[in-house]
Structure 1
Amino acid sequence: MSAALRIVLINVGRREQTPALTPPLGPLYLAAYVRQHLEVDVRIMDQREGDWPDAEVVAQVSSFDPDVVGMRCLTGAHRGLQALTQGIRHACPKALLVLGGPHVSAFGEVILEHTAADMLVAGEGERTLLHILQAFRDNQDYSTIPGLIWRSPDGAIVCNAGHGPIIENLDDLPFPAYDLIDIRRYWANSTQVFFPMLRKYIAMFSSRGCPWHCTYCHNIFGKKFRFHSAERVVDEIAHYAKTFGVEDVDFMDDSFNFAPERVTAIADLLRKQNIRVNVAFPNGMRTDILTQETVDALDDMGTWYSSFALESASERIQKQIQKHLNIPRFLQGVEMAVQHGILATGFTMIGFPGETLDEMQLTVDTVCNSKLHSAFFFYVTPFPGTELYRETLRDMPDRLKSMNYDDSFSYFTFDAVSNLSTVPDDVFFRFADRAYRKFYGNPRRIARIIRDTRSRRTLPMHLLYIGDYCTRDLPLRRWLSKRVPIESGLLGKRRR
C-alpha cells in the first residue's frame, strides 16, 4: 500500500487593514472532500488567522514535508504571493504547488507568470483537486483535467479546454473539515458582521451559484443555483452545535433566499428539532424577492443580522450592470426585516462607468432615507474575469492602464483605484467619506441601532466603529478588533 499523500492547504494573506476573520471555508471543504476519496494526511494553515509572516508559513510547511501544497487567495491578500510561493518552492522543491481561490478565478494564467506555482484551479475546486491528486499519485500528466492551467515540464503554460467540474448535488459533500482547525481561535476575533461582537459561531454555505448576471461580480460557483436540502442544512447546524457548542451560524451564501420554500423548510425543521441558534447573513440576500412569509421564516430561524445589496439607486445603472433590482421592493424588504428586529447593513457601489454625480447622490440619499442600520459605500473596481472589466477595457482602456490592484485597500475596495465615472477626481475620491458622515449623522439611525442591537454591552464598540468609518481611522479599526467584548449564552435572546 502506498503512503498517504501529505497535503497542506493554506489560506493566504495578512490582517493588514481588514482584521475581520472568517474560517477558511474553501480549504475546509477541499480537505473534507479529498480525504473522503483518497488516503491523505491533510493539514490546514490559516495565515490570516495567525497573521504569520511569510517566513513563518514557509517554516511550518517545510516541517511537514508535504507532497502537495494548495494555496487559496483573495484579491487584496495576493500581494505576497510571489515571495511566498518562491519561499515554499525553495524549501520544498519536490512539492506540487497548486493555487486557487477568487484571485486565481479572476486573474487566470497571468498568475503563473509571476509566481513559482505549478498550476491554477479556477472556480469550484473539489473535483479538480481530486483529479490533480490522483494524477500526481499515479505519476500521470495533467492534460485531461478540464479547465486546469498548469506548467508543462518544458515550462510552457498550458490552459486545458473546458471548465472545472462542479458538484451537482451539494448534499454529496461531506461537512467542512472543522476538526482540522481550532474554531475557538476565530471566536476571539471580529467577523464579517458589521456590528462588532465576538460569538461562538460557525460559518457555512447552504448553497452555491447565483442565477443573476451582475456585470461586476465573480462567477466562481457558476450561474446555476445549487443548494443543500433543508434536512442537510439542519443536520449540519445540529452537528456544529453538538460538537463545538456553537450558538451562532453565519451563512456565506450569495443567494440564500432564492428558493423561499427552502427557507421555510429550514425554519420548520429547526423549530421541530428544538435547535436554537442566532443566524447572520454577512454576504446578504436578494432583497427585492423577499416576501413577508420568507422574512417571518428568517425570523423563526433566529436571524439577527443580514446585509442587503442595493449597489445603485439609479434605474439606468441597474440596467447597465444587469442587476435589475426593483428598488421600491428592495426598500420594502429592508423595512420588513427591520420590523422583525434584524440588524440591516446596506451595500452600495459608486463610480460605475459613465455614472453621474446626480446618480451617485441618488444612491446615497436612498440609503440615508432607508431603514438600514449601517451601510458601506464601496468604490467600483473592474476585476479581471468580469463583464465590467471587459466593458471597461473596450470603452475606456486608458482608465485601466493606471490601475494597480496591488494598491487596492483590500478585496472589499474601500479605496478607489480608478475613477470610471463622469465625476471629477477631486470630488469622486472624497465622495464616500461624505456619504458615511451623512448616513451616520442621522440621530434617528443611531437611536435605531441602540434599540435593535443584540447586546447593549457592545454599544460603545458599535459607536466607535461608526466613528471609524466616518473618519477612515484604520489604526482605530485594528485596535478595536482586539477589544470587542464576547457575547455568549445569547441563544434565542435577540433584542426586539
Structure 2
Amino acid sequence: MLNVLLISAPYVDLYGPIKSAAGRYFPLGLGYIASFLKKNGYSVSLYEPEAQKLNIEEISKIFAEKKPDIVGIGSATPNFYNAVELAKLAKKTCNCKVILGGIHASAIPEFIIEKYHTCFDYLVVGEGEYTMLELLKCLENKQMPDSVPGLCFWHENKVNLTPCRPFIMDLDSLPYPARDMIPQELFYPNLHNARYSKCFTILTSRGCPFNCSFCASGLTLGKKYRVNSAEYVLGEMSMLKEQYGARQLLITDDTFTINKNRLLEICEGMIKKKLNLEWFCFSQITAVDEETLKLMKRAGCYNIGFGIESASPRILKIMGKPYSPQQCKTVIDAANRLGMKTQAFFVFGEPEETIEEINSTVNFAIDINPTLSFFNMLVPYPGTKDFQYFFKDIPLDQIDWKNFVAIGTKSVINKNSNLDLEKIVFNANLKFYMRPRQLLHIISKIKTFHELYSYIKGGLGLLAQMITWKTETRQTDENTLN
C-alpha cells in the first residue's frame, strides 16, 4: 500500500511580534485524516513543523528518509506560500504525489491548480477523510480519479474539478485524531488561554449554520451543523485524561453550544464521570442563557469566548449577525456574575463602517466588561461575502495571501478603505487595557503560576505588536505629510 506523509505548512512567523503569544496546536484536521487512513491499512506519518521545530533542512531529510509515495499538506490562506515551498521541496526530494487540503484549497481550487499544478498534483476540496482514501485507492490501481468527489487536479492541460463531496454525517464513525504520532507535550494554546501545561484541543462538531460575512469556515466544513454524540465526546475527553494526563481542554468548535440537548448531556456526563477538566469554548450569543452557563461552569467551563464583532446594529446586520448589542451585554453580564473568564471578539473594517461606529464599539467593549477583548482588523478570506466586496476587481494572482492573518500585523483592506485600521486597533487596545479596573479584572481570573507566566508573556507580545502598529502609523503619517 502507499506510504503517506502528512504535514502542516508553517505559519507562526506570519504573526509578527505577537507570535510570542501564539500557540502551537495539534493539527486536528490532518490528525483525523491520519487516523482514518491508518484504520484503512495505510502507513502514515504526521508532522507539525512549528511544534517540532523542524527547519527546511530537517524536513528535507525527513522526506528523503521516509520516501513517501504521497505527501499531504494542510494549509490555510496566510501560510499558503509556505505550502507551495513544502510542495516544491517534496517534489525535489522524493518521487511523490503532492496533495493540498485546507480552507484555501477549498476556496479557490481552480485558480490554485491552474497556477501551481507543477507543485500540487491534487487539491482536496471540503472534508478530507473519504476523499483522501478514495484518491489513494485510485492511485494504487493507476486509475483516473475523476470519479472521486471533492477533488481538483490538472489533466490534459486543463483544470478538472469533480462534483462536491457530501459532508460526513456520522462523525462517530471516524476514529479519534492520531495524537500518538506527535509528542503531545510539544503543543500549547495561545497564551491567553493557557491555565495548565497539560492542555489539549478537541473538535466535537463540524459545520456552522450562521452566515457571517467574513467567515470562511463553511467552505471546508459546510453550513449544516453535524455533531459527535455526547458518548463519543465524553469518551475522547476520558481518553485524554487517562492517557495524556489532560487538565485543560480547548473545544475548537465554531459554536459548541448550538445543540442544547447535546451540550447538557456532555456537561452532565463530565460531572458524573468526575473528569475535573477545565475548559474553554466558543459560543454564539443566542446559543446560551444563564442557566446553561451555570451547568457549563459546574462541568468545568471556566472560560468562554463570544464573537460580538460590533456595537452597531447596522454593522451587525451587514455581517449577518442575528443578535443585538443588548443581547451581548445580557450574556456577558451573566457569565461575569458566575465568575467565568469572558472573551469578546470584535472586527473593524466592514464595508462602509464609520470611525464613529468603531469608537462606539470600543466604548461598548468597556461597558460590557469582558475579561479580555480582541480587536481585530477585518480579514476578508477568499470565498466570503467580504472578499467579494473588497477584492472582486483584483486578479487573484496579484493578491498577497501571507497578509491574510486573523490577528494580523497589517490590514489587507486599507487600500480599499478610508480607515487606518492599524491605528484604530492600537488605540482600541490602549483604551481597553490601560485601565486599572481592567488590569485588576484580568488578575482576578489568574488561578495558576502557569497562567500568570502565560499572561505576562502574552502581554509583552501584545505590547510589542502595539509598538509596531504605532511605528508603522507614524511612518505612514510622515510619508503623507511629505
Name 1:365's counterpart in structure 2: 363
Residues 17-69 of structure 1, C-alpha deviation per residue, up to 9 Å, x if partnerless?
33411111011100111222x22111001112123223321221221011111
| Pair 1:194–1:105, CA change in 2 (3 A) | farther
| Pair 1:233–1:34, CA change in 2 (3 A) | same
Name 1:406's counterpart in structure 2: 402
> Are positions 1:8 and 2:8 aligned together?
no
Please point out which of 32, 36, 39 is paired with 1:33.
36
Structure 1 segment 181-220 matched on structure 2, within 5 A: 181-186=182-187, 190-192=188-190, 194-218=192-216, 219=218, 220=220
Structure 1 residue ranges (4+ consecutive) displaced by more than 4 angstroms after TM superposition: 195-198, 398-403
Q: Give, in whole Å, the separation in 1 of the partners of 2:395 and 2:73.
A: 31
Name 2:111's counterpart in structure 1: 110
| Pair 1:349–1:257, CA change in 2 (3 A) | same
Name 1:176's counterpart in structure 2: 177
Structure 1 segment 140-155 matched on structure 2, within 5 A: 140-152=143-155, 154-155=156-157
Name 1:119's counterpart in structure 2: 122
Structure 1 segment 340-379 matched on structure 2, within 5 A: 340-379=338-377
Q: Give, in whole Å, the separation in 2 of the partners of 1:253 and 1:206.
A: 6
CA contact (8 A) 1:346 1:375 kept: yes
CA contact (8 A) 1:249 1:279 kept: yes
Please point out which of 432, 436, 453 is paired with 2:446.
453
Name 2:476's counterpart in structure 1: none
**TM-score if structure 1 supplies the norm length?**
0.87
Please point out which of 23, 26, 35 is paired with 1:23.
26
> Are positions 1:61 and 2:57 aligned together?
no
| Pair 1:401–1:180, CA change in 2 (3 A) | closer
What are structure 2's unaligned runs of at least 5 residues?
Answer: 469-482
| Pair 1:457–1:25, CA change in 2 (3 A) | closer
Name 2:475's counterpart in structure 1: none
Alignment length, in residue pairs?
A: 458
Residues 282-309 of structure 1, C-alpha deviation per residue, up to 9 Å, x if partnerless?
xx21023311121012102201222211
Q: Give, in whole Å, the separation in 2 of the partners of 1:230 and 1:182.
A: 27
Q: Give, in whole Å, the separation in 1 of the partners of 2:466 and 2:310.
A: 26
Q: Give, in whole Å, the separation in 1 of the partners of 2:396 and 2:6.
A: 33
CA contact (8 A) 1:440 1:466 kept: no
Moved more, 265-274 or 449-458: 449-458
> Are positions 1:392 and 2:395 aligned together?
no
CA contact (8 A) 2:4 2:71 kept: yes
Name 1:478's counterpart in structure 2: none
Query: Of Structure 1 and Structure 2, which has the larger fraction of its residues in helix?
Result: 2
CA apart distance, 1:277: 0.7
Name 2:414's counterpart in structure 1: 419
Q: Give, in whole Å, the separation in 2 of the partners of 1:298 and 1:413.
A: 32
CA contact (8 A) 2:9 2:86 kept: no
| Pair 1:400–1:379, CA change in 2 (3 A) | farther
| Pair 1:143–1:255, CA change in 2 (3 A) | same
Share of identical aligned residues, percent? 25
RMSD over aligned Cα atoms: 2.3
Q: Give, in whole Å, the separation in 2 of the partners of 1:144 and 1:69.
A: 21
CA apart distance, 1:13: 0.6
What are structure 1's unaligned runs of at least 5 residues?
Answer: 476-496
CA apart distance, 1:201: 1.8
Q: Give, in whole Å, the separation in 1 of the partners of 2:380 and 2:360.
A: 22
Q: Give, in whole Å, the separation in 1 of the partners of 2:346 and 2:467.
A: 21
CA contact (8 A) 2:196 2:448 kept: no
| Pair 1:458–1:255, CA change in 2 (3 A) | closer
* One-letter amino acid matched to 2:371: H
| Pair 1:339–1:382, CA change in 2 (3 A) | same
Q: Give, in whole Å, the separation in 2 of the partners of 1:223 and 1:142.
A: 27
Name 1:487's counterpart in structure 2: none
Name 1:277's counterpart in structure 2: 277
Please point out which of 318, 321, 324 is paired with 1:320.
318
SS in structure 2 of the partner of residue 306 of structure 1: strand
CA contact (8 A) 1:353 1:420 kept: no
* One-letter amino acid matched to 1:127: Y
Residues 56-113 of structure 1, C-alpha deviation per residue, up to 9 Å, x if partnerless?
21221221011111100122222323222111111112x1210001221233222221
CA apart distance, 1:414: 4.2
SS in structure 2 of the partner of residue 447 of structure 1: helix
Moved more, 466-475 or 445-454: 466-475
Name 2:159's counterpart in structure 1: 157
Q: Give, in whole Å, the separation in 2 of the partners of 1:119 and 1:398.
A: 25
CA contact (8 A) 2:77 2:381 kept: no
| Pair 1:276–1:92, CA change in 2 (3 A) | same
SS in structure 2 of the partner of residue 157 of structure 1: strand
CA contact (8 A) 2:196 2:247 kept: no
CA contact (8 A) 2:5 2:44 kept: yes
